[in-house]
Chain A
Amino acid sequence: MIASAAGPAADRFALYDLFAGYGALIDAADFDAWLALFAATCTYHIIPRENYQRGLPAGLVYCDSRGMLEDRIRALREANKYNIHTDRHLIGLPRLIGADSDAKLVEAPFAVYQTDQEGETRLFATGLYRDRIVVEVGGLKFRDKLVLLDTFAVPTLLATPL
């Protein structure tokens, strides 16, 4: 269990800060700072809800190491072409659902809107984060991030992280 001398309220605010920063950094396309929210050893998966419900393992994004996640971001910057847009993450309050020996288990619902160059906004995705969060130097970090994608009929394409 993660204990804090500052008490439960401070723990909760730290969690809120983590999720608020998570969405804001993607929306600002500050992916280096975003990557810094992940633990030194981490995973990141985006799984369509229809696969998850059937117990099928394939994801849209399947990064089972930090290196793979960093490669994803590098490809996004240096190779991939995608619809020109800005993202807006609306992340609901994170909910502590349990803990194991070294991590908190936390869920949070999200919606991501995309706005194109002509100012038209559409709902791009809704879903649920289901995360394992650990304490490392610098504060709380995502050890394992699972993005359960409700909107598994992906509009156009998925380039920037959810």
Chain B
Amino acid sequence: MLNAAIWPSLDYSRVPYRLYHDPEVYQREQERIFHGPTWNFLGLEAEMSNPGDFRTTYVGDTPVIVNRDASGTIHALVNRCAHRGAMVRREMSGNAGEHTCIYHQWCYGLDGRLRSIPFRRGIRGKGGLDPSFDMTAHGLRKLRVASVNGALFGTLADDVEPLEDYLGAPVLAQLRRLLGRPVTVLGYNRQRIRANWKLYAENTRDNYHASLLHEFLVTFGLDRSTQVGGVKMDARHRHNITWAEAESDTAELAQEAYGAVRVRCNYLSLKEPELVRFRRERADPLNIAITSVFPSAVFVQISNSLAVRQIRPRGIEEVEIFQTMLGYADDSPDLTLHRLRQANLVGPAGLVSMEDGEAIEIAHRASKPDRDSTTVIELGGAGVISDRDYRVTDVPLRGFWSYYAELLGIEPAGAVR
């Protein structure tokens, strides 16, 4: 049974494995989280510059069309024909004046309204739809859409707080920092991981694993837990920013810290050190800024590589990570090349990210048989959930679970938030 009694502790420092594996959990997540009072990342306005531009995406596992109409307004529509439930728009992106289902050619406008139905009046007075059939009641279901600096979010819920309130000031500031200039899409990458989607959502909030699992970070001197950094959350602790400042530690401190855990920290030299060289682009010194937005978006700056990741659940046992690589529209050719080279760091083949796919698969695999056992989330202490100015912590995972429990209706009485 999925209820508040599944939690062994009130601070979410123990998460029962069943939450990664039970099919009933997945169904309730789709209803209460992805169709619930959350804002879900849809894509970027930069991908839909012209009237008629569309792209297809997902909210949870619900297929969605996002497009710009003739007046310039962006609409998001559930990509499912009102007639027989078929996917209306099959292409990933394109430009069109309407969306027509191939099955029976029901045709919808870019605002989702049902425009036309073939043989609506039948043929020679026979067949077709009854004259009372209400076209206006059979459009594509619309999502509410809001944008932060061109990052589009949609919601299927009727009552949800405004996007800016949902994100909160620290996350809003990060998005405005990352998207403060017009962006351009450098490309996409996708990764299918045989693990529950929440293991990935946790992973992006887990500062502790970064330089231990991703040994490249330390071995080649890109990022170390000894740098000045930490985690910063919104007031509800559902989102998180993992941050670090460039060149803010010393080699001696790093050697001492990593020597004890047998991780090499000897600045092995690369033949092409540009791969890890941070070119400072802003007034602040951040070279790592990973902003996880509940439930399924991650805005990522790692050195000079910039990206948005969308977590797409594909059933209880599989997740797709869909990543959009970004640059700025006014980047010089040299800076674009630098970003393309540093794109080697991230994605399914990323030198500092490939390990995540393996790590969460082995977590998924080994946790499955014993669903009443739990994880341990105590780095940085148990109890209160709060920001930390250090990096050996996984506190933001407890924030994620706290809001998750609230939305699923399984928050125990007296639990921390």
Contact = CB atoms under 8 A, between A and B. Distances in A.
Q: Do A and B come from one complex?
A: yes
Interface of A: 46-48, 50-51, 54, 56-65, 67-68, 70-72, 74-75, 78-83, 152-159
A112 B393 CA distance: 39
Nearest to B190: A153
Given A59-B340, A61-B349, A83-B358, A68 B189 contact: no
Given A62-B340, A79-B220, A82-B355, A159 B188 contact: no
Interface of B: 92-93, 185-194, 213, 215-216, 219-220, 268, 270-272, 275, 320, 325, 336-337, 340-341, 343-344, 347-349, 351, 354-358, 361
Given A68-B341, A159-B354, A58 B349 contact: no
A143 to B, nearest CB: 18
B215 A80 contact: yes
A32 to B, nearest CB: 15
B141 to A, nearest CB: 27
A82 B275 contact: no
B194 A56 contact: no
A158 B329 CA distance: 29
Given A46-B349, A68-B275, A75-B351, A58 B341 contact: no
Contacts of B186: 56-58
Contacts of A68: 271-272, 275, 341, 344
Nearest to B342: A62
A157 B337 CA distance: 24
Contacts of B190: 48, 152-154
Main SS class of interface, B: mixed
Q: Which of A78, A79, A81 has the most CB of B within 10 A?
A: A79
A152 B216 CA distance: 24
Contact of A48 (B189, B336, B354): B189
Q: Which of A56, A62, A72, A83 has the most CB of B within 10 A?
A: A62
Contacts of A64: 337, 341
A59 to B, nearest CB: 7
B270 A71 contact: yes
